[in-house]
Every structure is written in C-alpha cells, then in structure tokens.
C-alpha cells in the first residue's frame, strides 16, 4: 500500500477564482449569499437565494479557453479552471512525462446536476423558437465527457472516472482517487467536483420539497446550520480540485505537501430517497470505517468539516452520526456552506480544499448566522467567528446525499 498526500489545490467559488480567495473569505466569515440574479425573473413562493459567481468569464479565467467553450457547461468551465490551478499549484507541468509517466496520471470528477444549465438553455431556446445556443449538448450535458476534457488539457493518459453520488459527488471523486493511489493503480490523481446547479428547474424542485430556505431578510443571513432557527439550504456553485500523489513521488520531486489522506469510507442508508436516516447510524458507520482505515482513535480528531446544509433533518442526523461515531460532543464541527451555499457536486471538494488549508494554517473557519442552540445539535459549531488553534493534527470530512449515501474521509496534517 502507498501513502497518499495532497500536493496541489484549486478552487472556483462564489467568492471568485482561486483556493486562496476561497480560504481568506471563509476565514473572514464573509457570506457570499445574495438574491439570485439569474432567477430574478421567475415567480416563486419565496425569494430565490444563493451564492453565485457574478460575472464569471471563462475566456479570461483559463488560458486557451476558446478550445473548450463550445464543449462545456458552466459547471465544466468551473472544473477546468479549478483543475488548472491545482495542477499548477502542484507543479506537475515539469514532472508529467518525466518523473511521472502520463499513464500514471488519472482524472476523477464528481458532479450532481451535470449540464443542467446547458440542457435548460437548449430547452428554453426550443420552446421559445429562439436561436439554439452555440455548444455541443452531448459534451456539455453528459458528465461522462467532463473528465475527458480535463484529461485532454493535461495529457492525462491514466484512469478516468466520472462520479455522480448525489450531493457529495466531489468527495466521492476524491475518495476514489485516494483509493487508486493507495492501492498502486495510479501515481497521481487530479480529483475533485463541480456544479453550476442554479437552474430554474433544479431550484424549484428543491423548493417544492421544502429543502430551500424561506428566509426573507438579509440574504447573507439565510443559511444557518445547527442554529435553532434554521429553515433550509441555499444554493451555491463552483468547483474544487486536489492533486493526490503517491508520497514517494511527492518527496522525490520535493513537492509541497498540504496533508495526507489516511482513511475513506462510504455507506448507504437504504431507507429514504430524500431524507437522511433519522438516527444517522449508517453515516456513523462510514465514520468508524474511515477511522479504522486511518488507524486512529476517535479522540484524535481535532476538527470535523461537516455537510451542514442548514436543513433541520440533515443537521440533526449529521450531529447524531458524528457524536455517536466519535463518542464525544466537544469536537469542533464547522460548515462553510453557511457562507458559500451548497455547490452540490462541488461542495465536498471545496470543503476538502479548505480542510487542507486548516491543517496548514491552524485556523477553524466559522459557521456563521448561528443565533440559538438546538438541543438536538448540542455541539461546538465554531459559531460566527474563526478560531485559531494550536493543534489540528487530524481532521474529518463528512457528507451525505439524496438516496441515503454517506461518506467520511480522514486527513492528517503534514510536518516537513
């Protein structure tokens, strides 16, 4: 078995371009949530709120973007930009084809909603008899084609995986990349997730089932994970990517190391197609399995980056899963979705990018908009202000998705 380290990170979020932009913004506690301009013309039961990247321009964000513009959905464009940053951050350009063979470089991408924006645009154009958008729907909509585009850009000749595990597809992508590097099937995995889910069909579907916040005050205060007055999630968008590398390869080329992935597991509730299991038992099983692979005791976890959507049922189930698996309630548990919303397939990947930064900088981002404790979420959620810590050696990432799928990933800090 091989040890797996993180040697590069990249992100596109509602804050703008770059992993450092994301990190500085979440540490500052600044909300990116606002009224959704892209849905302003639709009548809904409550105002559409979310965190969207205003004025994103693919052609200026990515050198050579013109070659991909007609093949890509907005979500794929986010992915290409974030993947490029992670690739550059890991300094893979000088290594690929030299110390790292091209056929030992794999691409792993997770998406929940795939090319829903492209499909919506095409449908609207057809129904209104306006000129069709200038893109290839076969490439822009189908998620199976998305890692192809990334592999093409970086001449990756190794394993390619497209993952669509509901709301944590990006986390599953990283987990699969970790597994393939650990078990020797590849040397480097460029792994992450993306989504641009803010389409009218998608938004109204979530509103109909009562998942979205009905908040009518300041949009920045809409998402309130673990607070007693929380009333639902808000949409986000973006992409996060990590370069996962065999430790021997990373050391041989003197790569910077953010942290090490030491355990991963996924489970399924097998109960409900929308709601998580009330007791969080199968989610807790995923955490226990990840800890077992990591060979660390539950009391070694210093921080949990949680799913934390701000829905009543999800937050309660997650708290039960974490506290049952760890056997404690004192561990800090934070949700950056309070600031950037739920980016669907990009969410867990963005959170893992931040988790790497947490291990390096020893700062816990806040869960903002927390105003009143919920007795069923009796935890330390790092409320409202970032917290410097003297130690953060081991961190846990948890996530879940529609259909009852759950994941847990354990990351360890790195000392040179």
pLDDT at residue 274 in the model:
64
Q: What average pLDDT score do residues 244-254 get?
A: 98
pLDDT digits (tens, 9 = 90+) for 224-242: 999 999 999 999 999 999 9
For residue 307, indicate whether it is catalytic: yes
Cα separation, 210 vs 178, whole angstroms: 35
| Intrachain domains 4-253 and 263-412 with the same fold | yes
Q: Is 387 exposed, middle or buried (0-12, 13-18, 19+ CB in 10 A)?
A: middle
Tell me the percentage of the chain whose pLDDT exceeds 70.
Answer: 96
Query: What is the pLDDT, as a whole number, of residue 115?
Result: 80
Q: Of the listed 139, 167, 377, 392, which one is catalytic? A: 167
Distance of CA 179 to the CA centre of its chain: 18
**Closest C-alpha to 288, from 244, 260, 323:** 323
Cα Rg of the chain (Å, integer): 20
Domain boundaries, the chain: 4-253, 263-412
Q: Which of 12-26, 40-54, 390-404 is the most confident on average?
A: 12-26
What does pLDDT average to over the chain? 94
What is the distance between the alpha carbons of residues 31 and 3, in angstroms, rounded to a whole number? 36
Give the span between the Cα atoms of 368 and 157, in whole angstroms. 43
Q: What is the DSSP letter of 27?
A: H
| Per-residue model confidence as pLDDT tens digits over 282-324 | 999 999 999 999 999 999 999 999 999 999 999 999 999 999 9
At 272 the pLDDT is 64
Q: 4-253 architecture in CATH?
A: 3-Layer(aba) Sandwich (3.40)
Say which CATH class 263-412 falls into.
alpha beta
Instruction: Report the distance separating Cα 379 and Cα 147, nearest Å.
Output: 38
Catalytic residue (one of 194, 306, 342, 381): 342
Mean of pLDDT values over 86-97: 94
pLDDT at 125 over 90: no
Task: Pick the catalytic residue from 194, 223, 307, 354.
Answer: 307
| Residue 167: active-site member | yes
Q: Can you give the pLDDT at residue 165?
A: 85
* Secondary structure percentages of the chain, helix, strand, coil, to 5: 40, 20, 40
Q: Look-up: residue for tokens 């109960």?
A: 271
Give the predicted TM-score (pTM) of the model: 0.96
**How do beta strands 333-334 and 303-305 pair?**
parallel
Pairing of strands 188-195, 238-246: antiparallel
Token pair of 274 as six digits: 């929308």
Query: Is residue 2 annotated as a catalytic residue, yes or no?
Result: no
């Amino acid at each position: 078995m091989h040890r797996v380290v993180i040697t590069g990170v990249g992100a596109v979020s509602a804050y703008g371009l770059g992993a450092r932009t994301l990190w500085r913004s979440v540490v500052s506690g600044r909300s990116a949530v606002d009224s959704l301009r892209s849905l302003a013309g639709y009548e809904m039961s409550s105002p559409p709120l979310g965190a969207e990247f205003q004025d994103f321009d693919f052609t200026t964000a990515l050198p050579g973007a013109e070659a991909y513009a007609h093949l890509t959905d907005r979500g794929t464009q986010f992915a290409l930009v974030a993947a490029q940053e992670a690739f550059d951050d890991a300094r893979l350009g000088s290594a690929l084809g030299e110390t790292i063979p091209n056929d030992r470089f794999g691409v792993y991408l997770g998406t929940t909603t795939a090319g829903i924006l492209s499909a919506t645009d095409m449908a609207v154009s057809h129904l209104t008899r306006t000129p069709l958008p200038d893109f290839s729907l076969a490439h822009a909509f189908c998620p199976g084609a998305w890692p192809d585009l990334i592999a093409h850009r970086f001449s990756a000749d190794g394993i390619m995986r497209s993952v669509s595990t509901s709301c944590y597809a990006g986390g599953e992508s990283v987990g699969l990349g970790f597994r393939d590097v650990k078990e020797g099937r590849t040397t480097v995995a460029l792994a992450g997730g993306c989504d641009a889910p803010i389409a009218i069909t998608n938004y109204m579907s979530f509103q109909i089932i009562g998942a979205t916040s009905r908040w009518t005050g300041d949009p920045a205060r809409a998402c309130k994970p673990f607070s007693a007055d929380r009333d639902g999630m808000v949409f986000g968008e973006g992409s996060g990517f990590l370069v996962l590398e065999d430790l021997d390869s990373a050391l041989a080329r003197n790569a910077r190391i953010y942290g090490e992935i030491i355990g991963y597991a996924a489970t399924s509730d097998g109960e409900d197609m929308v709601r998580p299991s009330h007791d969080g038992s199968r989610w807790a099983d995923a955490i226990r399995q990840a800890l077992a692979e990591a060979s660390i005791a539950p009391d070694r976890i210093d921080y949990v980056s949680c799913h934390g959507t701000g829905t009543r049922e999800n937050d309660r189930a997650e708290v039960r899963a974490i506290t049952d698996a760890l056997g404690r309630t004192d561990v800090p548990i934070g949700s950056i979705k309070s600031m950037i919303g739920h980016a669907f397939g990009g969410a867990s990947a963005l959170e893992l990018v931040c988790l790497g930064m947490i291990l390096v900088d020893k700062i816990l981002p806040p869960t903002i908009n927390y105003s009143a404790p919920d007795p069923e979420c009796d935890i330390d959620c790092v409320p409202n202000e970032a917290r410097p810590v003297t130690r953060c050696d081991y961190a846990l990432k948890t996530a879940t998705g529609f259909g009852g799928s759950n994941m847990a990933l354990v990351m360890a800090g790195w000392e040179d």
